Structure 1
Amino acid sequence: MNTPRRVLRALIVEDSEVDAELLLYELSRRGFEVTYERVETAHAMQAALESRAWDIVLSDFSLPTFDAFRALEVLKASGLDIPFIVVSGTIGEETAADALVAGAGDFIVKGRLARLVPAIERELREAKVRATLSRTEEQLLHAQKMEAVGRLAGGVAHDINNVLSVILIGAELVSGALSPDDPILEDVEDIRTAGLRATALTRQLLAFSRQQVMEIRVVDLNEVVTGVESMLRRMIGEDIELTTRCGENIGKVEVDPGQIEQVLMNLAVNARDAMPRGGRLTIETRRVTLDEDRASSLVEVKPGEYVVLSVCDDGTGMDRATQARIFEPFFTTKEQGRGTGLGLSTVFGIVRQSGGHIFVHSEVGVGSTFDVYFPHTERANVTPVLRTQPVGTLQGSETVLLVEDDEAVRTLVRVVLRKQGYEVLEARAGEDALRLCQEHPSEIHLLLTDVVMPRMGGEEIAKALRQVRPSMKVLFMSGYTKSAVVQDGATDVPVAFLQKPITPEVLLRKVRAVLDDSSRPSLAALVG
Structure 2
Amino acid sequence: MSLRTRLLILVIAAMLVPAILVGLRFMQNRASEIDAALANLAASADDIASDLGEKIQGTAQLHYGLARARDLDTRDKAACSAFLSDVREEYPQFTGILTIDPDGHLFCDSLRTNRTLDLNDRGYFKEVKTLQGVVAVEPVFGRLTGLSVLQIAYPVRSETGALKFVLLASFNLNKFAEFHDKRLLAEKDILFVDAKGTVLAAPKGGGWSVPVGGSIAGSDLFRFAAAPDGEPFREVTAGGGRTRIWGVARSPAIRKAGLYILVGRSKDVLVAAANRRLYEDMAILAVASLLLLGGLWILTTVSIGRQVGRLAAMAKRLGRGDLSARIPEPHPGGELGGLMTLLNSTAESLEQQRAAIADLSHKLSQSQKMEAMGQLTGGVAHDFNNLLTVILGNSEHLADRLAGNKELHRIANDIATAAERGSDLTRSLLAFARKQPLRPREIDIAEQVTGMKQLLRRTLGEHIESSFTFAPDLWLASVDPGQLATAVLNLVLNARDAMPDGGKLMVEVSNASLGETDIDVNGEARPGDYVMLSVKDTGSGMSSEVLGRAFEPFFTTKEVGKGTGLGLSMVYGFARQSGGLVQMQSEPGQGSVVRLFFPRLATPPSEDPPPAEQTVTQADHETILLVEDDDMVRAYIENELRTLGYRVITASNGPAALELLRQSDDVRLLFTDVVMPGGMFGPELARQATMLRPDLKVLFTSGYSQDPVKTPDGIDARILTKPFRRQDLAAMLRSALAARPR
TM-score (norm 1): 0.74
In the other structure, the counterpart of 2:561 is 337
Matches of 2:344 and 2:478, distance apart in 1 = 47
Q: What does 1:104-119 align with in structure 2 at a 5 Å threshold?
A: 104-109=324-329
Question: What does 1:17-32 correspond to in 2, within 5 Å?
Answer: none
- Of 425, 431, 438, which aligns to 2:662? 438
The alignment covers a number of residue pairs equal to: 428
Q: Deviations over 1:440-497 (max 9, x none)?
A: 25x22211111111122111111111132221211110111235824xx556354211
Q: Report the equivalent of 1:40.
A: none
Secondary structure of 1:495's aligned partner: strand
Deviation at 1:354, TM superposition (A): 0.6
Partner of 1:71: none
Q: Distance in 1 between matches of 2:557 and 2:517?
A: 35
Change (3 A) 1:111 1:350: closer
In structure 2, how many angstroms separate the alpha carbons of the residues matched to 1:344 and 1:401? 41
Q: How does 1:70-469 map to 2 (within 5 A)?
A: 93=310, 97=314, 104-109=324-329, 129-181=353-405, 183-294=407-518, 299-381=523-605, 388-441=612-665, 443-455=666-678, 456-469=680-693
Opposite residue 449 of structure 1, the aligned amino acid is T
How far residue 266 of structure 1 moved from its aligned partner, in angstroms, is: 0.9
Once residues 323 and 93 of structure 1 are traced to their aligned partners in structure 2, the CA distance between those partners, rounded to angstroms, is 45
Counterpart contact for 1:211–1:353, Cα < 8 Å: yes
Matched letter for residue 728 of structure 2: V
> Structure 2: how far apart are the matches of 1:379 and 1:512?
34
Q: Which residue of 2 aligns with 1:502?
A: 724
| Bigger Cα displacement from structure 2, 183-192 vs 349-358 | 183-192
Distance of 1:284 and 1:267 partners within structure 2: 13
Contact kept? 2:440, 2:480, Cα under 8 Å: yes
**1:118-145 CA deviation, whole Å, 9 max, x = no partner?**
9998887666554443333222211111
- Tell me the SS of whatever aligns to 1:467: helix
**Matched AA of 1:154:** G
Q: Pick the structure with greater CA Rg.
A: 2
CA drift at 1:157: 0.6
Return the alpha-carbon distance in structure 2 between the equivalents of residues 315 and 117 of structure 1: 49
* Aligned-residue offset at 1:310: 1.4
Is this contact kept in 2: 1:211–1:484, CA < 8 A?
no
Tell whether the 8 Å contact from 1:132 to 1:297 is kept in structure 2 after alignment.
no
Q: CA 1:310–1:143 in 2, change beyond 3 Å: closer, same or farther?
A: same
CA distance in 1: counterparts of 2:495 and 2:467, whole angstroms? 13
Give the distance between the partners of 1:231 and 1:216, measured in 2 at CA.
22
Structure-2 change in CA distance of 1:349 and 1:127 (3 Å): same
2:725 partner amino acid: T
Residues 88-121 of structure 1 deviation map (CA, whole Å, 9 limit, x = unaligned): xx9x849964777655432324799x99999998
Q: CA deviation at 1:194?
A: 1.1
Distance 1:137 1:186 in 2: 54
Amino acid corresponding to residue 446 of structure 1 in structure 2? L
Distance 1:222 1:130, change over 3 A: farther
Deviation for aligned residue 1:298? 7.3
CA distance in 2, matches of 1:509, 1:411: 20
Report the alpha carbon displacement of residue 179 of structure 1 after superposing the two structures with TM: 4.3
C-alpha displacement of 1:303? 2.5
For normalisation by structure 2, the TM-score amounts to 0.53
CA contact (8 A) 1:216 1:382 kept: no
Correspondence for 1:513? 735
The residue type paired with residue 499 of structure 1 is: T
Contact 1:217 1:381 in 2 (8 A): no
Q: State the Cα deviation string for residues 412-440 of structure 1 (Å, max 9, x = none).
A: 11111212221111111222222222222
Kindly provide the amino acid, as one letter, of the partner of residue 410 in structure 1.
Answer: R
* Contact 1:427-1:433 within 8 A present in 2 as well: yes
Q: CA deviation at 1:357?
A: 0.8
C-alpha distance in structure 2 between counterparts of 1:157 and 1:484, whole Å? 19
> What SS does the aligned partner of 2:359 have?
helix
Q: Secondary structure at the match of 2:639?
A: helix
The alpha-carbon distance between structure 1 residues 99 and 199, as it changes in their structure 2 partners (threshold 3 A), is closer
Distance 1:172 1:323, change over 3 A: same
Could you tell me how far apart the structure 2 residues matched to 1:424 and 1:316 are? 59
Is residue 396–residue 420 contact of structure 1 (8 Å, CA) maintained in 2? no
Q: 1:297 to 1:430 in 2, by over 3 A?
A: closer
Contact 1:215 1:385 in 2 (8 A): no
Deviation of 1:238 (Å): 1.3
**Conserved 8 A contact 2:518-2:526:** no
AA matched with 1:514 = A
Counterpart secondary structure, 1:370: strand
Q: Give 1:253 shift.
A: 2.2
SS in 2 for 1:327: coil
Higher relative contact order (CA 8 A, sep 6+): 1
Which residue does 1:485 correspond to in 2?
709
Which residue is equivalent to 2:87?
Answer: none
What is the deviation of 1:283?
1.1
Unaligned runs of 5+ in 2: 1-306
Change (3 A) 1:391 1:107: same
Task: Give the Å deviation of 1:305.
Answer: 2.2
The secondary structure found in structure 1 opposite 2:504 is strand
- Distance change >3 Å, CA 247–CA 124, structure 1 → 2: farther
What is the distance in 1 between the residues matched to 2:696 and 2:467? 55
